[in-house]
């Protein structure tokens, strides 16, 4: 019997990370370490999420898909992705500037790495007064202009800068140059890929005392210089109503301000759903039981559970594949 599944967070130390994943989201962090990422749900090789609740405790995500197939992820999703879970769900704690970077699209990632590309979106959970996102170029940029700024180490000057506040949401398609600055806690939804081309890294050094490696040559052919996308997809939450933040070929993400109890119908969707509890607490109920979800927890709802109740108070994200 399948049921709403919780997984052990996979914590990643990062040079730009901090301690807020523990302070704000209740993650158990290793003492004295700068932790930048909590992978909530991952099927990537070497980083497969392991169940931590119920009878399936100890099984990893790929094992579950192999056994339950469409019952878990949806028949349509299984036919398309097989044993590969199609999304990577994370929290990021950025306390120093992220490297200026870009991710390849599906075609380039398949050609170079045998992987999916990396389109992603960010929801700002919490941030300091200095928080800013740089996403895309601030106006038309030629390849020649880009190359000149890379050579001079002034690439951030070309990027559009947006001061952000809790609740701000940005969509970052593959091929978009971007970085994060200031103190920012982010919920990230992305394709199942961990391919990043680092272009500029603020001249800092890694733990070994050397400057971190750049991939400027690989990045040059990955950048979409013609992108006209509106990256800011922020929408105000509504009480007991799901508000769509972004719908794209890779995922749909909705925002809910829960206050009391609502019913949610996934009949005919033919996809798993993921719930990220950003704050507060809720109880998920279905015909066979209940599961409590606390602030900072993420739960995977199998596709075979099509009708659920959500009861409690707080803010959450809902993610699925249309």
Concatenating the DSSP letter of every residue in 101-146 gives EE---HHHHHHHHSS----EEEEEEEE-TT-EEEEEESS---HHHH
Span 11-24, average pLDDT:
97
Average of pLDDT values for 306-315?
A: 98
Q: What is the pLDDT of residue 187?
A: 98
The predicted pLDDT at position 124 comes to: 98
Q: What is the DSSP letter of 77?
A: H
pLDDT exceeds cutoff 90 at 226: no
For the stretch 243-280, pLDDT in tens is 999 999 999 999 999 999 999 999 999 999 999 999 99
CA 236 to chain centre: 20
Please say if 198 is a catalytic residue: yes
Measure the CA–CA gap between 255 and 47, rounded to whole angstroms: 27
- Which residue in 190, 193, 197 sits closest to 121, CA to CA? 190
Which of 254, 258, 249, 277 shows the shortest CA–CA distance to 266? 254
Report the distance separating Cα 59 and Cα 249, nearest Å.
29
Q: State the Cα–Cα distance between residues 124 and 279, nearest whole angstrom.
A: 12
141: pLDDT strictly greater than 80: yes
The percent of residues in the chain predicted with pLDDT above 90, rounded, is 95
Q: Give the Å distances, CA to CA, from 246 to 146, 176, 283.
A: 29, 17, 25
Active-site entry in 52, 76, 198, 295 = 198
Asked whether the predicted pLDDT for residue 190 surpasses 80, the reply is: yes
**How many whole angstroms separate alpha carbon 178 and alpha carbon 169?**
14
Q: How confident is the model at residue 211 (pLDDT cuts 50, 70, 90)?
A: confident
Q: What is the DSSP letter of 317?
A: E
Q: What is the pLDDT of residues 51-62, one digit of tens each?
A: 999 999 999 999
């Amino acid at each position: 019997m399948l049921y709403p599944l919780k997984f052990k967070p996979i914590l990643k130390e990062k040079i730009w990370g901090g301690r807020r994943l523990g302070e704000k989201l209740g993650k158990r962090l290793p003492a004295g370490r700068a932790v930048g990422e909590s992978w909530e749900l991952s099927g990537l090789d070497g980083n497969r999420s392991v169940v931590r609740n119920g009878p399936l405790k100890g099984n990893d995500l790929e094992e579950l898909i192999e056994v339950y197939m469409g019952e878990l992820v949806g028949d349509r999703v299984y036919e398309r992705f097989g044993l590969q879970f199609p999304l990577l769900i994370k929290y990021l704690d950025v306390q120093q500037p992220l490297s200026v970077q870009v991710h390849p699209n599906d075609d380039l990632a398949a050609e170079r790495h045998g992987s999916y590309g990396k389109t992603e979106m960010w929801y700002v959970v919490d941030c300091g007064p200095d928080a800013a996102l740089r996403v895309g170029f601030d106006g038309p940029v030629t390849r020649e202009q880009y190359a000149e700024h890379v050579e001079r180490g002034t690439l951030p000057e070309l990027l559009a800068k947006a001061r952000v506040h809790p609740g701000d949401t940005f969509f970052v398609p593959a091929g978009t140059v971007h970085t994060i600055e200031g103190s920012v806690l982010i919920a990230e939804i992305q394709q199942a890929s961990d391919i990043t081309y680092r272009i500029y890294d603020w001249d800092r050094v890694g733990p070994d005392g050397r400057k971190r490696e750049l991939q400027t040559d690989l990045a040059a052919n990955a950048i979409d210089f013609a992108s006209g996308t509106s990256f800011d997809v922020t929408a105000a939450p509504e009480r007991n109503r799901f508000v769509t933040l972004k719908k794209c070929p890779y995922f749909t993400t909705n925002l809910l301000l829960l206050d009391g109890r609502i019913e949610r119908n996934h009949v005919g969707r033919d996809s798993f759903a993921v719930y990220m509890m950003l704050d507060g607490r809720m109880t998920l109920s279905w015909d066979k039981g209940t599961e409590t979800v606390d602030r900072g927890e993420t739960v995977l709802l199998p596709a075979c559970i099509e009708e659920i109740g959500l009861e409690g108070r707080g803010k959450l994200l809902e993610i699925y594949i249309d």
